[in-house]
Structure 1
Amino acid sequence: MKGYIHSLEYYLPEFEEYNSREDKTTEKIGIYSRHIAKLNESASDLAIAAATKLFEKEEIDYKSVDFLIYCTQSPDYILPTSACIIQSKLGLSTTCGALDVNLGCSGYVYGLSLAKGLIESGSAQNVLLLTGDTYSKYINKKDRSVKVIFGDAGSATLISAIESNRDLIGPFTFGTDGAGAKNLIIPAGGVKEPISEASFLEAADRFGNVRSRMNLYMNGPEIFNFTLKEIPSAVQTQMEKSCRAMEDYDFLIFHQANKYMLEHLQKKLKIEGSKFPIDMQNYGNTVSSTIPIVLKNLLDNKQINEGNLLMLVGFGVGYSWATCNVVWQN
Structure 2
Amino acid sequence: MKRYAGITAISRFLPEAKLTNIELSEIFPEWSAEKIYEKTGILERRIAAENTMASDLATQAAVKLFDGTGISPDSVDFLLFCTQTPDYLLPSSSCLIHQRLALRSDCGALDINMGCSGFVYSLSVAVSMIESGMVQRVLVLCADTYSKLIQPGDRSVMPLFGDAGAAVMVELVESEKPCIHGFAFGTEGNGAKNLIVHHSACKKEYSEKSVFRDNSGEYRSAEYLYMDGPEILQFTLQKVPVLCQTILEKSQLDLDAIDLVVLHQANRFLLDALRKKLKVKQEKFAIELELTGNTVSCTIPLALIECIRKGSLKPGMTSILAGFGVGYSWAGCVIHSGEIRAFI
Flag whether TM exceeds 0.5 (same fold).
Answer: yes
| Partner of residue 174 from structure 1, selected from 168, 185, 194 | 185
Determine helix, strand or coil for the equivalent of 1:150. coil
Determine helix, strand or coil for the equivalent of 1:232. helix
5+ residue gaps in structure 2? 26-31, 340-344
Matched, 1:74 2:76: no
Task: Give TM-score scaled by structure 2 length.
Answer: 0.92
Q: Which residue does the alignment assign to 1:42? A: 53
| Partner of residue 97 from structure 2, selected from 86, 90, 113 | 86
**CA 142–202 in structure 1, closer or farther in 2 if over 3 Å, else same:** farther
Give the C-alpha shift of residue 190 in structure 1. 2.2
CA–CA distance in structure 2, aligned partners of residues 133 and 33 of structure 1: 16
Task: Give TM-score scaled by structure 1 length.
Answer: 0.95
Indicate conservation of the 8 Å contact 2:80/2:94, yes or no. yes
| Partner of residue 172 from structure 2, selected from 137, 142, 161 | 161
CA–CA distance in structure 2, aligned partners of residues 23 and 303 of structure 1: 27
Determine helix, strand or coil for the equivalent of 1:77. coil
String of CA shifts for 1:86-107, please: whole Å, max 9, x gaps: 0000111111011000000000
Matched, 1:241 2:243: no
Matched, 1:221 2:230: yes
What is the identity, as a one-letter code, of the residue corresponding to 1:300? Answer: R
Indicate conservation of the 8 Å contact 1:143/1:211, yes or no. no
Determine helix, strand or coil for the equivalent of 1:295. helix
Determine helix, strand or coil for the equivalent of 2:157. helix
| Partner of residue 185 from structure 1, selected from 196, 199, 204 | 196
Q: Which residue does the alignment assign to 1:269? A: 278
Alignment RMSD: 1.7
Indicate conservation of the 8 Å contact 1:189/1:195, yes or no. no
CA–CA distance in structure 2, aligned partners of residues 265 and 88 of structure 1: 41
String of CA shifts for 1:82-130, please: whole Å, max 9, x gaps: 1011000011111101100000000000111000011001111110000
5+ residue gaps in structure 1? none
What is the identity, as a one-letter code, of the residue corresponding to 2:62? Answer: A
Matched, 1:62 2:64: no
Q: Quick one: percent identity of the two aligned structures?
A: 47
What is the identity, as a one-letter code, of the residue corresponding to 1:73? Answer: Q
Matched, 1:278 2:280: no
Task: Count the aligned residue pairs.
Answer: 328
**CA 204–274 in structure 1, closer or farther in 2 if over 3 Å, else same:** same
Q: Which residue does the alignment assign to 1:8? A: 10
What is the identity, as a one-letter code, of the residue corresponding to 2:128? Answer: G
What is the identity, as a one-letter code, of the residue corresponding to 1:286? Answer: T
Q: Which residue does the alignment assign to 2:122? A: 111
Determine helix, strand or coil for the equivalent of 1:279. coil
String of CA shifts for 1:226-271, please: whole Å, max 9, x gaps: 0001100111111111111111111000000000111110111110
| Partner of residue 231 from structure 1, selected from 226, 237, 240 | 240
CA–CA distance in structure 1, aligned partners of residues 214 and 284 of structure 2: 41
What is the identity, as a one-letter code, of the residue corresponding to 2:311? Answer: K
Indicate conservation of the 8 Å contact 1:62/1:90, yes or no. yes
CA–CA distance in structure 2, aligned partners of residues 279 and 8 of structure 1: 15
Q: Which residue does the alignment assign to 2:28? A: none
Determine helix, strand or coil for the equivalent of 1:108. helix
Q: Which residue does the alignment assign to 1:102? A: 113
Indicate conservation of the 8 Å contact 2:20/2:45, yes or no. yes
Give the C-alpha shift of residue 178 in structure 1. 0.5
